[in-house]
Amino acid sequence: MSDVSKVVLAYSGGLDTSVIVRWLQETYDCEVVTFTADIGQGEEVEPARAKAEALGIKEIYIDDLREEFVRDFVFPMFRSNAIYEGEYLLGTSIARPLIAKRLIDIANETGADAISHGATGKGNDQVRFELGAYALKPGIRVIAPWREWDLNSRDSLMAYCAERDIPVDFANKKTKSPYSMDANLLHISYEGGILEDPWEEAEEDMWRWSVSPEAAPDSPTYIELSFRGGDIVAIDGEELSPATVLTRLNAIGGANGIGRLDIVENRYVGMKSRGCYETPGGTIMLTAHRAVESLTLDREVAHLKDELMPRYAQLVYNGYWWSPERRMLQTAIDESQQYVNGVVRLKLYKGNVACVGRRSDDTLFDENIATFDDDAGAYNQQDAEGFIKLNALRMRIAAGKGRSLL
């Protein structure tokens, strides 16, 4: 008799998780609860209900989490200007803590004693799901089939379906693409196929959300983004919800060839991995946020944020969203955002995003001091002499003691 009576499975309705449903039922002789999240992946999630019902599932959760995803996860991350290894905007990483949270919520609601996911033993997602689950419910049991079973290829999964009369037409919805893809409102990622050779260029028809920069319009697109407390609250003066902001920016950015990325990254589990990403809205958001911060943040606060950012990004990438250190950093970051208010005007053109204007009632930019014209005594240039000498004092002393630099 299994020691697991009920499992909550993160269920997409695809081949892998459809096999996992039956495998859990057979291996653990347990009841399975399915959870399907709509986080803006661009596919209908409701069909997952019929697929789950066909597999004998009685408790089925299908949740629209788009607003929560952007409001409580994407926006807080973008307040930090987080970028992993100088390029990656963390689109997959930031969705995992929300899914982990909801898995635990449902486990509590249904009295389940375990959760399960379809992440493989080679990737980062297993770490992200499970770190989040253990942080939120320390005693939860986690079942990761890819670390237990011997179904290690698509052919073996298909054979499993054939043996158990699992309809391939509903289990195998990704057969049209040679890539492993993950999508949400922030991005879509591509791995596998020819991308496993870092020398091969991604095929143009792989990209789903954006036109190529070459095919983008020959005239630029201008937009104005309004910020309040470090978050975008309006586009061209129209107030919008967080999820609607990102949805609209994805459309605008994709139409202008913005947000494509091809990188080799260092996974937390130790290997290097090549992936391609489309993050049109996020690319626009990052440029705009840094622009409004340039007006409103104190110099030392801005520089300290830049020093903390790689650590914050690494925590998100590695799955430590629910850790005390990430929450501590978030508190500091959010404190810095109280004056990050204003409007940024952007020029979008053939894959590029340029800030061409910014204004704020909370600006620290003083035209009277910064001007190259007569400042009417606002800045005493003679003060600079003592400032420079004091800052050079330690170097002057060392040089006077014979510590030559040449």
- Could you list the active site residues? 16, 96, 125, 180
The answer on pLDDT for 244 being more than 60 is yes
Q: What residue ranges in 207-300 does DSSP mark as E strands? A: 221-228, 231-235, 238-239, 260-266, 272-278
Domains 6-176 and 182-297+339-359 belong to one CATH topology:
no
Domain 182-297+339-359: homologous superfamily in CATH: Argininosuccinate synthetase, chain A, domain 2 (3.90.1260.10)
Pairing of strands 141-143, 221-228: unpaired
Domain boundaries, the chain: 6-176, 182-297+339-359, 367-399
pTM reported for the whole predicted model = 0.95
pLDDT on residue 174: 46
Each residue's pLDDT tens digit, 187-225: 999 999 999 999 999 999 999 999 999 999 999 999 999
> With 0-12 CB in 10 A as exposed, 13-18 as middle and 19+ as buried, what is 388?
exposed
Q: Report the distance separating Cα 116 and Cα 20, nearest Å.
A: 9
pLDDT digits (tens, 9 = 90+) for 324-355: 999 999 999 999 999 999 999 999 999 999 99
Overall fold of domain 6-176: Rossmann fold (3.40.50)
Question: With contact defined as beta carbons under 8 Å apart, do 120 and 271 qualify?
Answer: no
